[in-house]
Amino acid sequence: MTGQTQVSATPDSPLDVIIVGAGVGGLYSIYKLRELGFKVHALEQASGVGGTWFYNRYPGCRCDVESYQYSYSFSEELQREWTWTERFAPQPEILAYLNHVADRFNLRKDITFNTTVLSAVWNEDQRLWTVNCADGTKWTAHYCLMATGPLSVPRTSVLPKQEQFKGEVYYTGTWPEGGVDVKGKRVAVVGTSASGTQCVPILAAEADHLTVFQRTPNFSVPSRNAPMDPKVDADWKANYTDLRKKQWNTRSAIIFQDPVQPALETSDEELERIFEERWASGGLGFMRAFTDLFTDQRANDLAADFVRRKIAETVKDPELAKKLLPWGHPIGARRLCTDPGFYDAFNRDNVDLVDVKADPIVEVYDKGIRTESGATYEFDVLVLATGFQAMMGALTKMDIVGTGGRLLRDQWANGPEAHLGLAITGFPNLFYQVGPLSTGSLASMIQGNEVQTDWLADLLVHARKQHIDRIESTPEKDHAWMEECERAASAFVHYTAKESSYIMIGADGSRRFLVYMGGFDTYQKKLKECVDHGYEGFVLQHERETEKA
Ligand SMILES: Cc1cc2nc3c(=O)[nH]c(=O)nc-3n(C[C@H](O)[C@H](O)[C@H](O)COP(=O)(O)OP(=O)(O)OC[C@H]3O[C@@H](n4cnc5c(N)ncnc54)[C@H](O)[C@@H]3O)c2cc1C
């Protein structure tokens, strides 16, 4: 281990930590670990920093956590000098922020771009990870941190015979840097989740004609994005310390206006008034209108009914409105979308909706899409807002090879098990961030990344002091944490959802929750308890020690 000196890395000499990914997690990890004197280097497949915000350049892309909350807390100076211009920052501004962070903290010198990691292989004799890249380079390191993101592998080739289409094809998750000119063109959008609901209103206003293909209607609430309120800006700048403390003590790393009462103990008039108020103020805070919306199905139904009424009121054609109404899953169990006028877009003459649950897509042909009924839809541009191989995709796409040649992909074939959602038995000295069984997408992820990086940094400092060079979780603890995630989820309406989603895979007996729903605040307590109990659940081995501690 290199002690306190900072050395620029090359593939030839072993690093302390190799980091895969230069999104919000990778960037902070480079900064933090380097400050502590670790020799670190990051490998990034993109040509720039930003991860999610580098790739998702589709029209309308923006965060759904308010800008001041969706930002780093690790540097006072950074907090004070950066000013967000909108309530929910648009993708270009978040990307500019992350580039500013990279420049301000001189992080680029420790990143190699345009480098895709194909595999990471553990060498037990040397206690080193070797990371192999698509360009043939190899990097070795004592520790490997997979900051590869929960939503970084878009689902591709999702439609039958997609390759037959002769027009332009774009994924929202890898939107071209220069944008796409849809003026005068017929556009199809497939998918009506978070990305679809954000881009539909913008594309509808620009394109000649827009056909939206919807499989599962989702709940979406208005975002009510607006220029940054100077009072909000001033409040955050003056009170960062207190507000961050407050933010970190919430269940989702997001400060909302707290609910004061359960919906089930509220009169009909009061219920309506409070829902209206939340609807008018916009954003994810809608689901914080009452204390029981996530925990009692009857209360959740009241919120769902309210939103369905709003959809029916907004969309003028009753038949069309009916198709857009979400049924069959609790509101909030799938990602709640926030939109800049998704439902309104269907009142435009140039927008059509195709319900592909009722009339499934059978194939893509050279000019468009054909459905089971024989209907054909022609267009020039196909936009696939079809989501990601969420949570596990980046980790299982690579060949991550642990002790005895085991493959992570195989080990997780029936669902992930990982101690505290960051370490996996059989993969010593390897850690991952905001992936499966972490607070993941149920908490603001900049904060999720910060918490995990800080915890890992403390662990590596401890290891350095104690001359520990091998850290591995145990199968019992990995399994126990998976059960803890299931137990935590069972308290929520999400648990009753039938269809798999980005937080849940499998069905019936083999169903697994992919996130820890116990809360961001409780998750931090669990991390602390682990440390307080001497890194409970980890086997820490000293240098040259061969027996298990
Ligand atoms: C459209 C959209 C909107 C979102 N809005 C919000 C929001 O409002 N609030 C919120 O909390 N979260 C939001 N998210 C989630 C978002 O992913 C996280 O907030 C955060 O950006 C994740 O950062 P990360 O560094 O962990 O991962 P990423 O940003 O995904 O970065 C991972 C990096 O790893 C790289 N990588 C992966 N595999 C390899 C490999 N094999 N070799 C080399 N490089 C690799 C990728 O190229 C990527 O740059 C949103 C996601 C999307 C897609």
HEC per residue, 501-529: ECCEECCHHHCEECECCCCHHHHHHHHHH
Tracing tokens 């399994």 back to the chain, one arrives at 479
CA distance 427 to 472: 7
Please determine, for residue 255, whether its predicted confidence score (pLDDT) is greater than 50.
Answer: yes
Q: Tell me the average pLDDT across 286-315.
A: 97
Ligand 1 center from residue 411 Cα (angstroms): 24
Q: Which atom of ligand 1 is nearest to the CA of 449?
A: 26
Neighbours of 454 (CB within 10 A): 16
Q: Can you give the pTM of this predicted structure?
A: 0.95
Structure tokens at 251: 């269940």
Phi, psi at residue 475, to the nearest 5°?
A: -60, -35
Please determine, for residue 271, whether its predicted confidence score (pLDDT) is greater than 90.
Answer: yes
Ligand 1 center from residue 164 Cα (angstroms): 30
The residue whose CB lies within 8 Å of the most ligand 1 atoms, and thus the one to mutate among 52, 94, 447, is 52
Please determine, for residue 72, whether its predicted confidence score (pLDDT) is greater than 50.
Answer: yes
Please determine, for residue 8, whether its predicted confidence score (pLDDT) is greater than 60.
Answer: no
Per-residue model confidence (pLDDT) at position 547:
46
Amino acid (one-letter) located at 233: D
Please determine, for residue 500, whether its predicted confidence score (pLDDT) is greater than 90.
Answer: no
Ligand 1 center from residue 301 Cα (angstroms): 32
Relative to beta strand 138-146, strand 430-432 is parallel
pLDDT band, residue 498 (cuts 50/70/90) = low
More reliable by pLDDT, 7 or 96? 96
Per-residue model confidence (pLDDT) at position 545:
59
Tens of pLDDT, residues 501-528: 777 777 666 778 899 999 999 999 999 9
Nearest C-alpha to atom 35 of ligand 1 is from which residue? Answer: 21
Per-residue model confidence (pLDDT) at position 548:
44
Nearest C-alpha to atom 41 of ligand 1 is from which residue? Answer: 117
Ligand 1 center from residue 339 Cα (angstroms): 20
Q: Which atom of ligand 1 is nearest to the CA of 25?
A: 25
Whether the Cβ atoms of residue 175 and residue 57 lie closer than 8 Å to each other: yes
Please determine, for residue 16, whether its predicted confidence score (pLDDT) is greater than 80.
Answer: yes
Amino acid (one-letter) located at 289: A
Per-residue model confidence (pLDDT) at position 503:
79
pLDDT band, residue 7 (cuts 50/70/90) = very low
Q: Tell me the average pLDDT across 272-298.
A: 97
Ligand 1 center from residue 547 Cα (angstroms): 38
Q: Tell me the average pLDDT across 57-65.
A: 97
Sign of CA dihedral 124, 149, 438, 83: positive
Tracing tokens 């941190």 back to the chain, one arrives at 145
Sheet of strand 376-378: strand arrangement: 361-365, 368-371, 376-378
Q: What is the three-class DSSP state of 200?
A: helix
Per-residue model confidence (pLDDT) at position 256:
96
Range name among 25-34, 215-224, 485-494 with the lowest pLDDT average: 485-494
Structure tokens at 398: 């690579």
CA distance 273 to 279: 10
The H-or-E segment that residue 139 falls in is strand 138-146
Per-residue model confidence (pLDDT) at position 513:
87
Q: Which atom of ligand 1 is nearest to the CA of 445?
A: 11
Please determine, for residue 2, whether its predicted confidence score (pLDDT) is greater than 60.
Answer: no
Tens of pLDDT, residues 101-138: 999 999 999 999 999 999 999 999 999 999 999 999 99
CA distance 202 to 60: 6
Question: Which percentage of the chain shows pLDDT scores above 70?
Answer: 95
Tracing tokens 């649950």 back to the chain, one arrives at 357
Q: Which atom of ligand 1 is nearest to the CA of 56?
A: 1
Structure tokens at 310: 């709003």
Which of these, 211, 193, 221, 177, lies nearest to 58 by C-alpha position? 177
Whether the Cβ atoms of residue 89 and residue 63 lie closer than 8 Å to each other: yes
Which residues neighbour 299 within 8 Å (Cβ) at sequence distance 6 or greater?
A: 262, 263, 264, 290, 292, 293
Nearest C-alpha to atom 16 of ligand 1 is from which residue? Answer: 52
CA distance 208 to 172: 19
Please determine, for residue 9, whether its predicted confidence score (pLDDT) is greater than 60.
Answer: no
Per-residue model confidence (pLDDT) at position 509:
63
Please determine, for residue 206, whether its predicted confidence score (pLDDT) is greater than 70.
Answer: yes
The residue whose CB lies within 8 Å of the most ligand 1 atoms, and thus the one to mutate among 58, 73, 94, 148, is 148
Ligand 1 center from residue 516 Cα (angstroms): 18
Q: Tell me the average pLDDT across 218-246.
A: 97
Tens of pLDDT, residues 434-474: 999 999 888 999 999 999 999 999 999 999 999 999 999 99
Structure tokens at 371: 């459905």
Q: Tell me the average pLDDT across 305-314.
A: 98
CA distance 536 to 456: 14
User: Which DSSP string corresponds to 337-378?
Assistant: EEESSHHHHTTSTTEEEEETTTS-EEEEETTEEEETTS-EEE
Please determine, for residue 6, whether its predicted confidence score (pLDDT) is greater than 50.
Answer: no
Tens of pLDDT, residues 370-409: 999 999 999 999 999 999 999 999 999 999 999 999 999 9
DSSP summary character for residue 84: -
pLDDT band, residue 499 (cuts 50/70/90) = low
Pocket of ligand 1 (CB under 6 A): 20-26, 43-46, 51-52, 54, 56, 61, 63-65, 70, 116-117, 147-152, 195, 394, 398, 433-434, 444-445, 449
CA distance 305 to 310: 9
Ligand 1 center from residue 412 Cα (angstroms): 21
CA distance 17 to 145: 7
CA distance 495 to 535: 30
The residue whose CB lies within 8 Å of the most ligand 1 atoms, and thus the one to mutate among 64, 108, 151, is 151
Per-residue model confidence (pLDDT) at position 12:
66
Tens of pLDDT, residues 410-427: 999 989 999 999 999 999
Ligand 1 center from residue 174 Cα (angstroms): 12
Ligand 1 center from residue 153 Cα (angstroms): 9
Per-residue model confidence (pLDDT) at position 307:
98
